[in-house]
Amino acid sequence: MERCTGKVALVTGASRGIGRGIAIKLASEGAHVVVNYHTHRQEAEEVASAIRAMDCQALVCQADVADRHAVSQVISETVGRFGHLDVAVANAAFSIRMPVIEYQWADFERTVEVCQFGVFHTCQLAAQQMVRQSQSGHRGGKIVIISSVMEEVCFPNSAPYTMSKAAINRLGQTMAGELAPYRINVNIVNPGWIDTPGERRYYSEQELHERGKRIPWGRMGTPEDVANAVAFLVSDDADYVTGATLRVDGGYLLGLGLT
């Protein structure tokens, strides 16, 4: 069953990893997808090709989500192309891992600009468009924030990332209450340890495989695991779900307390 037929979905950071998985999953559910990317143009075009192969439309938009004007342009291009925006998935993220006392301010600031301010730009500008649509008779919309279990538990070497994730979860909950009268759902997904290209900056394939076996579910998560959760939250099945945080981690956090 296609739960997103005819809907238009914007996915930020959609060229790789979790964003790629979400974009392709939403297309498999019938959505037309705006594939946002920052630096991986070829991979974004590959995602768009996969979407078109499913008889859905794809619009590829380059934008750094930390740049508010650029995000505004993406929203404008989306509405110009499709006439409306039904789903916004704020997924784009950035992280440089090191101890707090060793951070260069530029690296710390960049992480916050993408992971916190970028999510704010995406969510606020998408919500403004959805409110305008609702006032003209178009049905509200769905906003999903991709956060992290690191919002719940702090790990070393990730201070700006962790603080940003905590902030965007509170943003999502606040927006959920404010936007409910417009029938705009806002929910958060907290992925656990997901097998993405970014993890290979820090671990070898063997290390990822071995560490994944320590998770209660017996493996690392996949982008598809997260995408399945998002597909539910943006579907009509979740119309009465807003302000929720859905953990998708295979028991990762529970495993931290196991002996």
SS3 139: coil
Contact 18, 146 (CB under 8 A): yes
Backbone angles phi, psi at 90, to 5 degrees: -85, 95
258 confidence band (pLDDT: 50, 70, 90): low
Task: Please write the tens of the pLDDT for every residue from 137-171.
Answer: 888 899 999 999 999 998 899 999 999 999 999 99
- Cβ neighbourhood burial of 153 (10 Å; 0-12, 13-18, 19+): exposed
200 confidence band (pLDDT: 50, 70, 90): confident
| Percentage of the chain modeled with pLDDT above 70 | 98
pLDDT at residue 201, rounded to an integer = 77
The pLDDT of 215-235, averaged and rounded, is 96
Pairing of strands 87-90, 141-146: parallel
* Residue type at 165 in one-letter notation: K
Please state the separation of Cα 92 from the chain's center in Å: 6
Backbone angles phi, psi at 234, to 5 degrees: -95, 0
Mean pLDDT score of the chain? 95
Asked: is 8-256 a CATH 3.40.50.720 domain? The reply is yes
The pLDDT of 202-228, averaged and rounded, is 90
pLDDT at residue 89, rounded to an integer = 98
Q: How far is CA 13 from CA 81, 123, 176, 183, 241, in A?
A: 20, 14, 22, 26, 24
pLDDT at residue 259, rounded to an integer = 44
Please give the Cα distance from 10 to 132 (Å, whole number).
17
3-state secondary structure 80-98: HHHCCCCEEEECCCCCCCC
Please give the Cα distance from 27 to 186 (Å, whole number).
20
List, by residue number, the catalytic residues: 161
Record the pTM: 0.95
Backbone angles phi, psi at 212, to 5 degrees: -60, -35
Q: What is 147-200 written as a DSSP string?
A: --GGGTS--TT-HHHHHHHHHHHHHHHHHHHHHGGGTEEEEEEEE-SB--GGGG
Domain spans of the chain, in order of start: 8-256
The sheet with strand 8-11 has its strands ordered as: 58-62, 32-37, 8-11, 87-90, 141-146, 184-191, 245-248
